Amino acid sequence: MLTEKLMQMLEARKDEIIQIRRHLHENPEVSFQEVETAKYIADFYAGKDVKIDKEIAGKHGLVVTIKGGKPGKTIGLRADFDALPLQEETGLPFASKNPGVMHACGHDGHTAYLMVLADCLIQLKDELPGTVKIIHQNAEEMAPGGAKDIVASGVLDDMDYVFGIHFLPNGPAGVVGWHKGYTFTGRSYMKLKITGAGGHGSSPHLANDAIVAGAYFVTQAQTVISRRLRPFDIGVITIGSFDGKGQFNIIKESVELEGDIRCMSDGAQEIVQRELTNLVKGLEAGFGVTCEFTYNNDYPPLYNDPELTDRVVKILEAAQEHDADIKEVKEFPPQAPSEDFSYYNTICPGCYFFIASTPKGQDKPVYNHNPKFDIDEDALLVAAKAVGYVLTGIAAQE
């Protein structure tokens, strides 16, 4: 049986998955600069009987197409491979060799498990129903992200379903988490430059204070969340930068603000953009200032198709009954960060689920994007198996 053969192959190659992960961890590259990482991945597939689309998404994304020997659906499996601009503080023997760059979000593990899983599928492709598209995506961490360009390239237009995972320190290795519906927030970016008229601090009537207008915007922006979104909608507006530095007795002529917006639905994302735009127009009318307003919806909210997620959960629960590596399948809460996997869900139904990965002996979890972040490497095989079960299970149902 295909699934049994696949699991045996993955178990036999656990050490290889770990070694690939450690190589990637030692050699991280930040978003849109993953030259050597992309080459390492492409070299892994060189000479194999697959179609490889390279140089997508800033010339670093890859899509590997495995054509199965039996009829069936086209299913995508995605892993991201960029790192973060952080100085690593884990003390691991395979810590980053690149100063100020670190795999602090688990993308090294995502890529390692998927490379070996894909190679096993290539060897079993005569028994594989349908087609599998292995999506090695760069630049998840930096807008506009790699997913958007890969989708725009058209290489995934025939995809029927798409799946992916993320390592989270929400439990020990062996726990697989899921969530239906909106699962990750959408992310937007805003920048506002307010220009008034500078002057002497003793004579505000002869000037037009941009800081006062900016301060008004900061406080009023929060009312968009409390008074414009439904009580059941989720949204956060963070003004993370207010550049108003100047002389204490000089009225500032201009200030610049930057903000981060997260929303848990497409509708909420649209409302926040509209209301902040209106607020900027009100600043110009009410304070007599001029405004330059930039607003980008970087990533949509990530929506896990409910019916497809139910199927995934049933497959994983059935696997749990006989596979000792999958110890528990449970619902996880929605996540406040954002994830550009959401772009794949704009072209087909998808399910993005979680692999618990808290290192053994770590009493207090160290979360993603922390310079001390690490994963339990036993979770690598759990990820490969979980995605393998889902792929073969969904393929067999179609």
User: 2-173+357-397: which CATH architecture?
Assistant: 3-Layer(aba) Sandwich (3.40)
Whole-number pLDDT of residue 108: 98
Domain ranges of the chain: 2-173+357-397, 185-299
Please say if 82 is a catalytic residue: yes
Tell me if residue 331 falls in helix, strand or coil.
strand
Whole-number pLDDT of residue 72: 97
How large is the average pLDDT for residues 176-192? Answer: 98
From the candidates 108, 119, 140, 253, which is the catalytic residue?
Answer: 140
Asked if residue 117 has pLDDT above 90, the reply is yes
Whole-number pLDDT of residue 359: 98
Whole-number pLDDT of residue 364: 92
What does pTM read for this prediction? 0.95
Q: Are 280 and 214 in contact (CB under 8 A)?
A: no
pLDDT digits (tens, 9 = 90+) for 339-360: 999 999 999 999 999 999 999 9
Please say if 378 is a catalytic residue: no
CATH number of 185-299: 3.30.70.360
From the candidates 82, 141, 253, 376, which is the catalytic residue?
Answer: 82
Per DSSP, what are the bridge partners of residue 79?
136
Phi-psi sector, 97: left (phi>0), alpha (psi -120 to 50), beta: alpha
pLDDT digits (tens, 9 = 90+) for 193-224: 999 999 999 999 999 999 999 999 999 999 99
Fold match between 2-173+357-397 and 185-299? no
Whole-number pLDDT of residue 132: 98
Tokens of 258: 């930057």
How large is the average pLDDT for residues 244-250? Answer: 95
Whole-number pLDDT of residue 398: 87
175, amino acid identity: V
Whole-number pLDDT of residue 8: 98
Give the DSSP H or E segment for 167: strand 161-168
Compute the distance between CA of residue 258 and CA of residue 241 in angstroms, rounded to an integer.
5
Asked if residue 300 has pLDDT above 90, the reply is yes
Selection from 392, 398, 352 nearest residue 110 by Cα: 352
pLDDT digits (tens, 9 = 90+) for 307-350: 999 999 999 999 999 999 999 999 999 999 999 999 999 999 99
End-to-end CA separation in angstroms for the chain: 17
